[in-house]
A = this chain, B = another copy of it.
């Protein structure tokens, strides 16, 4: 269906002006100038049978067009757009690109208009791109239905942009730097079609090998993940997601009116999908250039070849910054190099072939190292020294790299002197970078992509749990008006999903309390049990290490403190009594619901210093066993403590894994849990228990 947006056989453009140079006319000019091969039908309601524009007959209405129309470009004022969409439906046009602005982005009135537009589109079965877009470009079908001032060269990169203005800048830069696009789509307000539709469509587009996106928000997070995971198996996705910072997110929401979830959620989702996130436009350009020119490497080992020691050192630094492994040359390769390179060369990595290297020495070096099985990719560094011949060197590189199945990136550093080399390199699909750090970042992106592309999706497992028990507690609390749940109720919910919790007994009277303490074995922990009190210790509602004989006095004191805090008699459900738990590692498991991607699950160092250490990892649900393992592994500190630090024992990581998976199932089963956190989960060498937990639920399911 989206084919009609990119490769229509005919298109109508509604909203050209007969008198003035308006936006519609500019779009029409762009269409004509790009040499669109299909039929073009301009529409203006004042047109007569003899109205022509740019040599094209203008129709007074869509219904008057005698032929089939595949795509309608809408540029009429916003208040007329809905009726044009109705006309589209009547005419059997299934695709409309609404360039017109003045909808959701313009405030309440606009939002209402947009809602009406969408309803009409659904009713008439017309798919909408926009409104409020820069337009749509397909270089392979010579379609430029946009008012962008720059038309990019043809290429294999599809670019999807939520910002029209930034789209303009990038299209302009594409032309300037010779970066070729296959398609450009401006998403605008995304009333109907959005990034999910387009990236799915691009998966099978034969002209597209790399997808570049600029997004400020994602509306359908879960669907995006599923779609993008499919696409990534075929084509890399490079994404600028702006609004990374808190202030940036505020700026974004005032810009497009779109609500965007926490940046952490995007970070986690992109990582899980395998989307390469670019922080800046420059980074994005560098990345797409690399991917559009070269296939990702089969391994991780990179060889640096240089004619300048300093450049080699800087590239080495950059490789370490991006955790790129440096290749060790094979013995045979070293021998061959030694035979012909000057003795002062450094036959190592970086391979320094010296400042006086003429093109033939570059040729020999590259030809010798390229077949080395220890080398997966090459970064060639060239600085313009007295005897350097940049143009000829580039030609030699082109020759040597022809048909080679390992990525070669280059870094010809300098300005005027090296500039003749650049077009030769780029024509030969050797991406050239100004700086070793840029090249290293791109190589890292390619290495990561090669890995994630081959990664198998973890299997999801299901546990037998008591879902109705958990739901029952949650519903009953909600019905009582409590949206924050702690104490024994929170523990029970965890327990109902098979996550081990500390023994916990509720005492309503002093006598009961003493009996329980005797049974549990003192010393015990006593805590106020009240849905109205969440931070129990802060109000003197917790006492640890209580001996049996102290129980009555402590009972009364805690109740007293609680009453004082609550300023009333009721609201206290009793005192919960727990045995003292033997020492272990304190960890935290939890989940939080993100507006974009649904629940994120978290693992980390627990205890009272959680916020201080900030040592945790995050994943999307549903969690697979392998993802749970990775989560534990990727924490900086607690992962190492759990393995047994120095003379300390190792802890029960299996229990943590199991608990994380069960927690994932819990929030998947009961999605109206907004936040859930167990802290601490005390883990021993074998086993462990949750001592405390709290849950936040939504007012509505």
Interface residues of A (CB under 8 A from B): 23, 26, 106, 147, 149-150, 161-166, 168-170, 172-177, 214, 216, 240, 242-248, 250-252, 254-256, 279-282, 307-314, 316-321, 326, 344, 346, 348, 350, 352, 355, 383-386, 388, 413-419, 434-438, 608-609, 612-613, 637, 640-641, 645-646
Contacts and interface: CB of A to CB of B under 8 A. Distances in A.
Count this chain's copies in the assembly. Answer: 2
Given A310-B162, A311-B169, A417-B172, A280 B318 contact: yes
A31 to B, nearest CB: 15
B281 A314 contact: yes
Contacts of A385: 149, 164-165, 168
A626 B463 CA distance: 58
Nearest to A314: B242
**Most chain B CB inside 10 Å of its own CB: which residue of A214, A255, A346, A436:** A255
B282 A435 contact: yes
A434 to B, nearest CB: 6
Given A166-B383, A255-B309, A308-B165, A413 B317 contact: no
Contacts of A311: 163, 165-166, 169
Contacts of A413: 166, 169, 172-173, 281
A246 B313 CA distance: 10
B147 A415 contact: no
A310 B166 contact: yes
A419 B177 CA distance: 12
B415 A177 contact: yes
Given A169-B311, A307-B165, A436-B280, A176 B612 contact: no
A630 B256 CA distance: 42
A313 B255 contact: yes
Contacts of A386: 23, 26, 147, 149
Given A310-B255, A313-B248, A316-B245, A609 B414 contact: no
Given A168-B384, A176-B416, A242-B310, 13 more contacts: A26-B386, A149-B417, A162-B310, A172-B413, A172-B414, A245-B319, A251-B313, A252-B313, A254-B346, A255-B352, A280-B318, A282-B435, A612-B641
A288 B566 CA distance: 63
Contact of A166 (B170, B245, B308): B308
B415 A150 contact: yes
A248 B317 contact: yes
A243 B313 contact: yes
B383 A169 contact: yes
Contacts of A609: 637, 641, 645
